[in-house]
Amino acid sequence: MLKNSYYNPNIIASLVKLGAPVVAANVGFVLMGLIDNAMVGKLGYVPLAAAGISNTAFFIATIFGIGVLMVFSANIAAEQTRKQAETESLIGASLIINVLVTVFTFLILLLIHHYFHIFGQTEAVNEAALPYLKIVIYSSIPMFLFLTFKSVSDGHNLTKAAMYGTFLALGLNVFLNWVLIFGNLGAPAYGLVGAGYATLTSRSFMAIFMLLYCVYHKKIVFYWTTFRTKIYQKHIKSLLALGIPSGGQFFFEVSAFAGAAIIAGWIGEHELAAHTVAIQLAAFTYMFASGISVAGMIKTGETWAQKKHQKTLDIGRNTYFLVTFFMAISAILFVLFRFPLVRLFSENIEVIAIASQLMILAAFFQFFDGIQAVSLGLLRGMNDTKVPSYITLAVYWAIALPLAYWLGIHTDLKMTGVWIALTLALILASVFLYARFMNITKRQLLH
């Protein structure tokens, strides 16, 4: 018999306890980008646009790998509920996959840097972007290492470690930006390139912090002998079988937003700068949804492995309630404070005008962005990644990108049209993914 439990204080409390540090770590990670853009924006709208398109290119290449690594924490959490002894080999398999993902991504990034002109940006933006991107490329290595050990820690329900590491790195990043961008404390003023050096150093610190935490924490089953001698081939295969479709989910969505940035650059430098500002602010609130999603993923990973399907359904419903509540608050703040928020990044009147309009659309799609993010996390915890990857492929590539190009380039809507296309894709993704989660869990309960 199906039960209704859309709001359970105990489940909400457990999700908040587990997810709050994840949210904090995610927010800290995005704050690095926000602060980078705010400080780079003081140099002018061209460096701001260059940073925006460079980071867009960076995440086009890295997001697939990030999606692959995302399945680790749920699988580690599930393994602990069944076979404690195999957790060690599962972590070792995760490290092997991390190496493969890092090498593959690094090569893709080098190709993107070499053929950067294919993005069709203005000469001024290209000239500013390439030196910055060349430095940021190397930060992909510590970034993936950090994410792998973060998954190991999260899978053991130790979610605070990544939060501490991220906020320490955030402070380091702000300080290095101040020194290297503007030439304080006697250092040369590197401008945008200085922000690249700061990013590389901060991500390296994060990786070292999480590596040491996982190696020395008593609760985490990890030994260097794991890496050398105890890799189970079945774990590598199972993680890749789940991780590759998961990577596809991330890639299809993020590449659609990256495509929007490229289209913005075709429309004009002011439009690209405005898009950079609005999407960074939207990404900030999305990190809350992402953190809630990770908490839901870990919890469903545990209950689904134990075949507690009613508990899985209850966790899902309460996760949806939590993310909807937060996104409603975010939407209100976006509308009320859109002008002050935009002015934090640029003093250019045209950039402010365009970005403030986009913030209204960002407020609207907050709800659907949160629901689709949570749905993907819950389904990932249930080891359902293949069909969701098809859904994301259809809504973002078959609908969002073509529509964004047509509305942005061939109509007077321009950037507003681009964001309308993105919003439509998020609405469709949230509907289909929510329906899939509910259908799977209810079907199991009725058997």
Residue 3 lies in a domain: no
Residue 176 lies in a domain: yes
Residue 75 lies in a domain: yes
pTM score, whole prediction = 0.83
* Dist CA 180 CA 397 (whole Å): 39
Residue 4 lies in a domain: no
Q: What is the per-residue pLDDT for 1?
A: 41
* Dist CA 119 CA 259 (whole Å): 9
Residue 1 lies in a domain: no
Residue 417, number of CB atoms within 10 A of its CB:
21
Angle at 151 between CA 138 and CA 56, to 5 degrees: 40
Domain region containing 65: 9-446
Q: pLDDT for 352-377, tens place per residue? A: 999 999 999 999 988 899 999 999 99
Q: What is the per-residue pLDDT for 2?
A: 46
Residue 138 lies in a domain: yes
CA distances from residue 279 to 187, 276, 389 in whole angstroms, order as listed = 32, 5, 23
Mean pLDDT in residue range 223-234: 56
C-beta of residue 325 within 8 angstroms of C-beta of residue 374: no
User: What angle do helix axes 192-216 and 45-69 make, rounded to 10 degrees?
Assistant: 20
Average per-residue pLDDT for the chain: 90
User: Which of 80 and 372 is assigned the larger pLDDT?
Assistant: 372
* Dist CA 372 CA 182 (whole Å): 40
User: What angle do helix axes 401-410 and 233-267 make, rounded to 10 degrees?
Assistant: 10
How many domains does the chain divide into?
A: 1
User: What angle do helix axes 415-446 and 269-305 make, rounded to 10 degrees?
Assistant: 10
The confidence band for 115, taking pLDDT boundaries of 50, 70 and 90, is very high
Task: Please compute Rg for the chain using Cα positions.
Answer: 21
* Dist CA 12 CA 321 (whole Å): 9
Residue 287 lies in a domain: yes
268 token code pair = 């004009």
Q: What is the per-residue pLDDT for 3?
A: 52
Q: What is the per-residue pLDDT for 269?
A: 87
Residue 4, number of CB atoms within 10 A of its CB:
8
User: Which of 423 and 52 is assigned the larger pLDDT?
Assistant: 423
The confidence band for 332, taking pLDDT boundaries of 50, 70 and 90, is very high
The confidence band for 4, taking pLDDT boundaries of 50, 70 and 90, is low
Q: pLDDT for 96-113, tens place per residue? A: 899 999 999 999 999 999
Residue 414, number of CB atoms within 10 A of its CB:
18
Residue 304 lies in a domain: yes
Three-state SS annotation for the chain = CCCCCCCCHHHHHHHHHHHHHHHHHHHHHHHHHHHHHHHHHCCCHHHHHHHHHHHHHHHHHHHHHHHHHCHHHHHHHHHHHHCHHHHHHHHHHHHHHHHHHHHHHHHHHHHHHHCHHHHCCCHHHHHHHHHHHHHHHHCHHHHHHHHHHHHHHHHCCCCHHHHHHHHHHHHHHHHHHHHHHHCCCCCCCCCHHHHHHHHHHHHHHHHHHHHHHHHHCCCCCCCHHHHHHCCCHHHHHHHHHHHHHHHHHHHHHHHHHHHHHHHHHHHCHHHHHHHHHHHHHHHHHHHHHHHHHHHHHHHHHHHHHCCCHHHHHHHHHHHHHHHHHHHHHHHHHHHHCHHHHHHCCCCCHHHHHHHHHHHHHHHHHHHHHHHHHHHHHHHHHCCCCHHHHHHHHHHHHHHHHHHHHHHHHHCCCCHHHHHHHHHHHHHHHHHHHHHHHHHHHHHHHHC
Q: pLDDT for 414-445, tens place per residue? A: 999 999 999 999 999 999 999 999 999 989 88
